[in-house]
Every structure is written in structure tokens, then in C-alpha cells.
Structure 1
């Protein structure tokens, strides 16, 4: 076999895994951990594990589709491959763009929840959280317009920082659990019903959604036949393990009342029993860095999705135009993020984001099932992934209907709007 020259544009297995981990371990875990505990109580680690299983099944479908149809369009490409450029595929691809916007709102809300803690440390009066979350969205938008390379550098730095801090939190936290009386909260007697455990896992499913970013990088991965599936599997299961341990440490370290009181910044509060105020400060800073980098990266990703969908004639071609040498979708994405983040509560944003990605992943799993012969995939795995995502989506809507009616209305309205916009546009251009 001839020796090939090294291609500097290629992505190694390690880099591909980093893309998956970086996409998942963003602002999600900082935003939704407290929400998961409020729903699942002592069964929170199980809730994260449930969500991780669904993520791993979907990652299998993504790996097969990424090999068969390597394209920087990722999810958009897969859906169009399965259904053609129809009203249905356009609706789902539009939903993908909106789901990015919802995720951005979640990250911004988390930033707004953690930022006031820095003022508490100095004894100064803090400003309203909406000021912080609005400011960080504006700052990230300016950075995206200024330099995409800067966005990449910020993300690379943030991935290292947040992983070091979270792994240190896990290591110290596990050691600190021995002899902690709150460890009894993890007992089965403190678990919620299986329905609430499943719902808890689905509400926080947004913490796993970032693995699909590997699909966008698939065309550039070295030795894709071996490394694409490894990148998906290694990154997903690493994050599942990380999240489950973080959930165990959090529930085992703090009383439920304390977790409820600090729901929006519970990871910082969970660091207190181990490292005192220093731990609280370090985790707060980690949360701010993580959510800021996630906003930066998701703004770029969201603008690229809107650009790609418009190029595929599923949104008006005006979205392929540029403003200050960047896609106009970047500004639209930022404005819509500001609107949602300043309007909805954290639980409603998380519900809408999780439901959106569960529906999108259900469709991707179905495409993998439908094209199983063409992609050399195992039909049963993709079918099981489709059913799990669909059941989780329906379960989430039913359970949240009574406890978070606004969140259910938001996601159903988003889906309906995506359909109506696509239907009217297709009629208009045909």
C-alpha cells in the first residue's frame, strides 16, 4: 500500500470525538440538571441514563447515514435523502433551525442564571438576569460577525476548560460522597414513578443533542469507515457516563430543598460541600465559559442551517444573502433568540428544545430504517431508535401538558408554524 501524504484539512478520530463531546457538554448540563432533579428526584441518574440510551441508538443511525451520505449539511442532507425536497422534509429542516434557536435561548438563560452569582461573591448588587442573557447574545453575535476563526478558538479553549473542571468535580465529588448523609437520597425509595423518570430524562434530552455535529464533519474525517462510528459511540458514551456521575454527585451531596432553591445554578451549589466558596466560584466561571462558547458555536451552526435549507429551496432564497459578509440568517437567529430567551421560562425552553430534537431524531432514525439496505445498517436498531424517540416525544408532551402547559403549546406552535411556512412557500414557488 502506498504511503499517503498527510492531509492537514482532515479530522482525526480524536478531533472528531472532541467535536461530539464539545457539542454535548456545552451549556446543557449547567442549564437543566436542577430541572431534572426537580422531576426525577433520587432517580435523576437513571433519567440521564434513559436519555443516553436514546442518544446512543440515534447515534448509530447517524453513523450509518454519515458514511453513506457524507455531507456538511448533516441532518438536513439525511432528511432530504429520505423524503426528497417535500413539504414534510422542509418542515423538519425548518424545525431543526428553530430548535437551534431554542437551544441558544436555553444556553443564554443558563448564562443569565449563573452570572448574578459573581456579584454575590463581591457583595455588590446584581442586575436582572435578562440583562446578562441579552448582553451575551449580542456579544456572541458581534463575535460571529467579526471572525469565525475566533469562534473556533473560543470553542477549543472552552472544551478543555469545562472538561477539566467537570472531571475534577466528578473526582472530588465521588470521594466526598463517602459518609455524606444526603447519599440516602439516591435510594430507590426516593425515585419518582417510571413515567416521571422517563419524562425527566426527556426534558433534559437537550443536554445530549450536540453529537449530531459529527455528521457535519464526516466528509473530512480520516479513515471514515472505521472512525465515524467510533467518534459517535465514544463521544456519546463518554458523555452518558459523565452526566450520570455528575447526577449522582449532585443528588448525593445536596438536600433536595437546597437543589430546588438553587435549581438554575445547581452545579455551582453542588461544588460548595466539597470546596466551599472556592468551588462555587470555579463552577460558576465554568458555567459562564461553557454557556458562552455554546452560544457562539450554536449561532454559527444555526445560521449555516438556515443558509443550507434556503439553498435547498425549503426557505426563501433571501436567507442565502449576506449582511456584512455573513449569512443574513445569523442576525435573524440572534434576534429570535433574544425574543425567546426573554419571554419563556427555563422549563418551557428546555421542553421545547428537547421535544424538537426528539422529533427530528425520530425522523432521522426512520430514514436510516427506510434506507437500511443502502446504508448497510441494521434495521432493528434504527427502528428501535425511531420508536424510542417517538414514544419519548409523546410521553414528554403528555406529562408536560399538566405541569408545563406553556412549554407544550410552544413546541406544538413551532411545529405548526414550520409546516405552514413551508407549505405556503412551496405553493408560492411552484
Structure 2
């Protein structure tokens, strides 16, 4: 590969930042405030700390096993190609589909604020959420190059608008009576704060995409750790400031009323309707670009899993010059975003990625001698991801039983698919003999 195709540090960081600051922050900010109230910035710190600890295992595994398969490769290296590793990789693919549903839900919630198709926000939500998935699917089939160009432009636009929002917002907080909502007296109990942090963990999902680009990164030994740590550090700071501005700008009652598009509502006190419109446009650009990129990423994951003989080889076949997994990913996303509420989608996505990241951390621990890694940090990451999963299931079971049932069903189905696939493979081999 020529040097002009190589990825520099800033480009590697933009992959991580673009992956994290997709639709997640626009989709789950209102949900975070409803759970953690005045401690929302602390909730984002909790989730960010978990992402940062997990990134250590990603750094070591990325350098030890540079591969475009990324997470799929690391799971297989850590556990071998077994029913267990196949189940985890299936869960990764389904978790990408859940993230796509989350982004489409955010698009469907923000878009009617600009233009209502039917006058009924409920119906408009389904129209816009479905339309954006179909449009992104068409673009993915048309040209992968266009997908990359949209993502590159969108990263710049959304960061420019969000940093502007933070700058104006911090200035607008001076003398704002809602600032007292951030005081410890307005915090929820520790369990609620932790639950809030964990349910919004999906807002940090995306840093792992750096792993897929490692074979092309210039001077990987130096730039791979920097790409992971700098991008996560930047996003933690950005989310922290966004949470402070949002909670300090609006009373909790207004945040609850505009839960699905709270970031746009938070711009109103400072910039009026223009601010609301600017943030709405930023949300639409962000979620659209995230859907575009995640559709491609999701179809690649299904391709990698099938190539490793953990799903039927038919998934490596092409349909209109793209992996067949692209069409399957798109169809399943349409079903999920039109049938589940935002909290259930967010819960399922967080549980899915927490389990996947727990296993990546365990791979980092298991392979520490091969990758010259520290054993303690990965085992801490593994333990925290497991504890976070259990905490989230317990917290959500009280308020959102459906979300927990859906999440656990998805985990169970991921392993069931793998179990039956391996059984059928084994049966066919014996029959041939």
C-alpha cells in the first residue's frame, strides 16, 4: 500500500472520535438526565472511565494482532474459534444493528422538529427513521467511497457545532438559576448515577473502530496508543461539558418533556429558535453519517465472522457488489427501530457492548504474555464490565423490564445461533465422511 494511503495520527483519532460522537450523544443525553439528574456529568465520567480502561486492552491487542477484523480477531485469538467466541462475535454484529437502531431513533426524533410530514410526531418518527436507513443503505450500495467522504465531512461539522454549543453554553450559564441543579443536593442515589452512566455507555461505543484501521496506521507503536487514548480523552471532556451545559441551562421538567431531542432544546435559552435549529441540523448530520458508517461496519463484521467459519459462508457472498450482510443488517435495523423504545434500544446496546468489551479485556489478560501487556488493567476492565452489566440489568429490571428481556434474549440468541451452526457443520462433515 502506498504511503499516501497510510493513516496519520490525526486521521486515526478522527476514526475514534467520529465513531463515538455519532448519534449516541444526541440519542441518550435526555435519558441520562432522567436517570442521573444533577449528576449527569458524573454519569458520563463513569461511562468514559470504563471506555478508557478497556482501550488499554485494545491498544495491546491492536499492536499484537494488527488485523482489519479488529474485535472479531481479538475474540478469536483470546478464546479460539469455539461456540463461545462465535457467540460473542454474533453479539458484536447484533450490537452494531442495535446501535444503528439507536441512531435511526435519534434521527426520527429530531427530524419532525424541522418539518412534520403528517402532523403526528409518532407517525413522523417512523417515517423519518425508516427513510434514513433506506437512504443510507442505497448510498452504501452505490459507493463505499461516498460513505467515507460523508463521514469525513460530518466529523468536522458535528464537532464544530458541538464545540460552539459548549462555548456559548458555558458563557450562558453565568448567573443562570438552573445551575443549582448541578449541586450534589440534586444528585440521585449512587445506584441511579451508576445506572445512568452504564445505560449511556453506548455514547462511547465507536473507539474500537480504530482497531480495524491499525494495519494502515503510520508508526503504529507510537500512534496507536495515542489514537485510542487521545480520542477517548477528548470525547470524555466534550461529553462532560455538554452535560454541564444541558443540566445548567434547562429545568428538569423541560428536559423530561424534550427527552428525545434535549440537546436542541438546551440551545434555546442561549440562541433561541436559531440555536434549536442549528443543533437539530447537527443531530441529523451526525446520526445520518453514523448510520452510513455503521451499516458498512456492521456488514464487514458479519463478513469477518463468516470468513472465520463462525456463521454460514453464504455471508461472504456478494449482493450488488456488497457483502450480503449489508442487506441483512439494514433489514434488522428497520425492524428494531420501529418496534422498540429508545430506553430498551439503549439498554440492549449497552449490555451487548459491555459483554463484548468484557471479553476483549479478558483476551487482553489471557494473551498478556504474547502482547507484552499488563495483566492487572485488563482484569480490572473485565471485572468492571461484568459488574456494570449486572448493575444495568438490575437497575433496568425495576423500571424497564421489557428492555432487559429484549437484551438478554439477544445475548441468548447470539449463542444459540452459533451452537446450532456448529452442530449442523459437524453433522454435515460426518455425513460426507
Per the normalisation by structure 1, the TM-score is 0.97
1:301 aligns with: 297
- Is the counterpart of residue 11 in structure 1 residue 7 in structure 2? yes
- Is the counterpart of residue 285 in structure 1 residue 281 in structure 2? yes
* Contact 2:83-2:422 at 8 Å conserved across structures: yes
- Is the counterpart of residue 139 in structure 1 residue 124 in structure 2? no
1:417 aligns with: 413
1:365 aligns with: 361
CA distance in 1, matches of 2:119, 2:339: 27
Matches within 5 A, 1:316-335: 316-335=312-331
- What are the Cα deviations for residues 304-347 of structure 1, in whole angstroms up to 9, with x where unaligned? 00011001000011111111111110000000000000000000
* Contact 1:119-1:125 at 8 Å conserved across structures: no
CA distance in 2, matches of 1:376, 1:385: 17
**SS state at 2:339 partner:** coil
Equivalent of 1:29 in 21, 25, 47: 25
CA distance in 2, matches of 1:110, 1:14: 28
* Contact 1:20-1:231 at 8 Å conserved across structures: yes
CA distance in 2, matches of 1:356, 1:100: 9
- Is the counterpart of residue 399 in structure 1 residue 391 in structure 2? no
RMSD: 1.3
- Is the counterpart of residue 57 in structure 1 residue 53 in structure 2? yes
- Is the counterpart of residue 155 in structure 1 residue 151 in structure 2? yes
Equivalent of 2:373 in 377, 393, 397: 377
CA distance in 2, matches of 1:373, 1:337: 40
2:248 aligns with: 252
Q: CA deviation at 1:371?
A: 1.0
* Contact 1:20-1:236 at 8 Å conserved across structures: yes
CA distance in 2, matches of 1:413, 1:155: 32
CA distance in 2, matches of 1:295, 1:124: 25
CA distance in 1, matches of 2:261, 2:393: 25
Per the normalisation by structure 2, the TM-score is 0.97
1:265 aligns with: 261
Q: CA deviation at 1:123?
A: 12
* Contact 2:118-2:124 at 8 Å conserved across structures: no
* Contact 2:178-2:247 at 8 Å conserved across structures: yes
Equivalent of 1:351 in 340, 347, 354: 347
CA distance in 2, matches of 1:212, 1:123: 39
Equivalent of 1:427 in 419, 423, 427: 423
**SS state at 2:236 partner:** helix
Relative to structure 1, is the Cα distance of residues 390 and 272 closer, same or farther in structure 2, using a 3 angstrom cutoff?
same
Which stretches in structure 2 are left out of the alignment for 5+ residues? 427-433
Q: CA deviation at 1:119?
A: 2.2
* Contact 2:45-2:236 at 8 Å conserved across structures: yes
